[in-house]
Amino acid sequence: MSTIARNQWYVAAYGREVGRELFSRTICEEPILFWRTEAGEAVAMSDRCVHRRYPLSEAPSRLDGDSVVCGYHGFTYGSDGGCVFVPGQARVPRTARLRSYQVVEQDSFVWVWIADPDNPEQGDPTRIPRAPWMDSPDYTVVSGMEPIDCNYGLLVDNLMDLSHETYLHGGYIGTPEVAETPITTEIDEDRNVIYVSRHMDDAECPPFYSESTGIEGRITRWQDIEYTPPCLYLLHSRIAPVGAPLPGDDGSDPHAFHSEIVYAITPSTENSTLDFWAVARDFAIGDDAVTTFLAENNRTVVMQDVVALNILQQALGTEKDGYQELSINIDAGGLGARRLLKKLAGASQAVTAAAG
């Protein structure tokens, strides 16, 4: 059974990636073509010509105004996916139509609705989780995307249990206190959100924060995770010198530094994942040196995860059926995420099975 949940919104790209050049990305095992109309609207449709399945993202395919011209035989498609021209005849076959996709641009992301072909639903844009820091003037953002050769569930596991920072990311964001500090976990079944919190009252300040904030001594460090399956993961990070006042009752927190760490976790195939990452900060907003430092350091951390998860996927591929994992207290959030992802992935398949 597929592990990929459908009838869901997924991040397909950053808005900056989609322009007047034909651009392709595989989302949930579907090759999708992205481009912008002359009016600036993002469009998503199948990246396979209906005639001989030539990828429309490949040269010499091209845009002609608001139409896509296949570079193999010249089949031409409008922005709604409908074929408007075929070579050698006036009549366009009724079935000459590409699958089109719902697209929403929000918080610097291009979201695409991946319907279940056996039980399709219309995408509701109000269900898209928010990451408002991504395009807020009150934050400076660094971001990128890395492909990983692993099932997207492994990346979810990785991010839900940040104790691995102590060991995998030592010298960057990891310190002993991350692994030593217990977590609290809450699973909101009604809202389909998982919360995991780790509050460190007296911790070493890792280089990621000492270099960017200027704090030289020990810190209080809060890590508050908010994960909305299947796609959006938020880490609300609070850093302050030990002894600094706590947030006020009104939510103000002028004595701390805040980073909003955003991950969009998008399955490309069963065993490949698109890892969209971003760091939004409310301090040193106009400091280009801090921006460069955080961009370089966070990408280093992401690549450490990429290498580890590639290795893990290869190792799991050699395991015999029925192998056993050991889970402990720190895995509560990850296990909850697994359960909700399995529930989402199985929902439409259960409907299909019942109909059959």
Please state, in angstroms and as integers, the Cα–Cα distance from residue 293 to each residue in 30, 114, 203, 258, following that order.
36, 36, 22, 16
> Which residue in 143, 141, 204 sits closest to 170, CA to CA?
204
User: What is the rounded distance in angstroms from the CA atom of residue 272 to the CA atom of residue 274?
Assistant: 7
Q: Fill in the amino acid letter for 97.
A: R
CB burial readout 83-119, b (16+ within 10 A) else e: bebbeeeeeeeeebbbebbebebbbbbbbbbbbbeeb
Per-residue pLDDT of the chain (356 residues; tens, 9 = 90+): 799 999 999 999 999 999 999 999 999 999 999 999 999 999 999 999 999 999 999 999 999 999 999 999 999 999 999 999 999 999 999 999 999 999 999 999 999 999 999 999 999 999 999 999 999 999 999 999 999 999 999 999 999 999 999 999 999 999 999 999 999 999 999 999 999 999 999 999 999 999 999 999 999 999 999 999 999 999 999 999 999 999 999 999 999 999 999 999 999 999 999 999 999 999 999 999 999 999 999 999 999 999 999 999 999 999 998 889 999 999 999 999 999 999 999 875 544 444 34
What residues contact residue 24 under an 8 Å CB cut-off, 6+ apart?
A: 31, 32, 33, 34, 47, 55, 56, 57
Angle, alpha carbons 180-207-156 (nearest 5°): 55
Q: What is the pLDDT of residue 348?
A: 55
Q: What is the pLDDT of residue 98?
A: 97
Please say whether the beta carbons of 90 and 80 come within 8 A. no
**Percentage of residues in the chain with pLDDT exceeding 70?**
97
> Which residue in 215, 186, 214 sits closest to 203, CA to CA?
215
Q: Give the H/E segment covering residue 272.
A: strand 272-281
Complete DSSP assignment for 173-236: TB-HHHHHS--EEEEETTTTEEEEEEEEEEE---HHHHHHH---S-EEEEEEEEEETTTEEEEE
pTM tops 0.75: yes
Strand partners, 112: 10, 103
> Which residue in 176, 219, 179 sits closest to 198, CA to CA?
179
In the three-class reduction of DSSP (H, G, I as helix; E, B as strand; rest coil), residue 112 is classed as: strand
Q: What is the pLDDT of residue 1?
A: 74
Q: Give the H/E segment covering residue 300.
A: helix 288-316
User: What is the rounded distance in angstroms from the CA atom of residue 16 to the CA atom of residue 137?
Assistant: 17
CATH topology of domain 131-317+327-342: Naphthalene 1,2-dioxygenase Alpha Subunit; Chain A, domain 1 (3.90.380)
User: What is the rounded distance in angstroms from the CA atom of residue 307 to the CA atom of residue 310?
Assistant: 5
Q: What is the pLDDT of residue 301?
A: 98
In the three-class reduction of DSSP (H, G, I as helix; E, B as strand; rest coil), residue 334 is classed as: helix
CATH topology of domain 6-123: Rieske Iron-sulfur Protein (2.102.10)
**What residue segments make up the domains of the chain, in order of their start?**
6-123, 131-317+327-342
Q: What is the pLDDT of residue 322?
A: 86
Residue 337 sits at φ, ψ, to 5 deg, of -65, -40
Strand partners, 294: none
In the three-class reduction of DSSP (H, G, I as helix; E, B as strand; rest coil), residue 247 is classed as: coil
